Amino acid sequence: MILDDLVAATKRRLTKGKATESLEQVKARAAKVPTKDPQQVYDRFLAPGMHLIGEVKQASPSKGQIASDFPYLDIAKDYDQNGVTAISVLTEPDYFKGDLRYLDEITDEVTVPVLRKDFVVDDYMLYQAKAAGASIVLLIVAILTPQQLHDYFALATKLGLAVLVEAHDETELQQALGLGAKMIGVNNRDLKTFTVSLNNSLNLRKLVPNNIAFIAESGIHDRDNIATLEAAHVNGVLVGETLMRADDKAAKINELLGVTVNDAN
């Protein structure tokens, strides 16, 4: 399964990374970054309306190369200036062609919270995220033991990082709820077949209390998709490929959010 490959690649990369920069060194860098209040992120997503997380990524395992031209800073600024609630930055290099450097540079240039989108399997990665200026980290239930999930959630919170806990089915969702997650992302992609269905979010939304931010991920392409999710009281959507392929990202954001731009001056 692709997740197994991603986890294995991440662990290999961490072994090399720790040889270059020790855990103590990355902790020291993280300590120099002011600690934020993660509740501010959660509150943003619980505010009325549909919230968009715009993703910055070059490639994915399911789609291959998405963006041949990749001015990641300009893309992030476009998102920031046109109504996204947060920005997701892929830092996984082997399958998504991401880089921690992208996160580091983007957080210096935008005003909205930034999510480190990666496959966290070690507390080292949480310290890296804080050191790079991230406000949010992703914890994927499917790749972590219950103890790891608990420990990483607690550490991220201590570091001032909001946590998007990702679930794919009801069993994983119940784990996220039991953890005390304040923001849950439901991935609409079946990790075994790579098929996508918004019904996954629509069905699981009913099981999540309204005081927990609910984010739908994958398979969101147009305004109709978002209107359907909005009607089900989904708080936010994470959109990557659709925005990355759009020539006019500002127009695409407006279209997705149902914003009518008045051209009359």
CB-neighbour burial class of residue 153 (10 A; exposed 0-12, middle 13-18, buried 19+): buried
Q: Is 117 a catalytic site residue?
A: yes
Q: Which of 55, 92, 230, 241 is catalytic?
A: 55
Contact 8, 92 (CB under 8 A): no
Alpha-carbon distances of 214 from 19, 42, 173, rounded to whole Å: 38, 10, 11
For the CA atoms of 138, 141, 143, 147, the dihedral, rounded to the nearest 10 degrees, stands at: 100
Phi and psi at 55, nearest 5°, equal: -105, 140
Contact 205, 232 (CB under 8 A): yes
Q: Which of 60, 88, 92, 117 is catalytic?
A: 117
Contact 153, 137 (CB under 8 A): no
Buried b (16+ CB within 10 A) or exposed e, 70-106: bebeebbbbbbebbbbbbbbbbbbebbbbbbebbbbb
Q: Which of 166, 172, 230, 241 is catalytic?
A: 166
Q: Which of 217, 241, 249, 252 is catalytic?
A: 217
Q: Is 88 a catalytic site residue?
A: no
Q: Which of 82, 187, 200, 201 is catalytic?
A: 187
Q: Which of 218, 225, 235, 252 is catalytic?
A: 218
Q: Which of 36, 57, 130, 182 is catalytic?
A: 57
Q: Compute how many other C-beta atoms are within 10 angstroms of the C-beta atom of residue 12.
A: 11
Q: Is 192 a catalytic site residue?
A: no
Hey, which residues are catalytic here?
55, 57, 117, 166, 187, 217-218
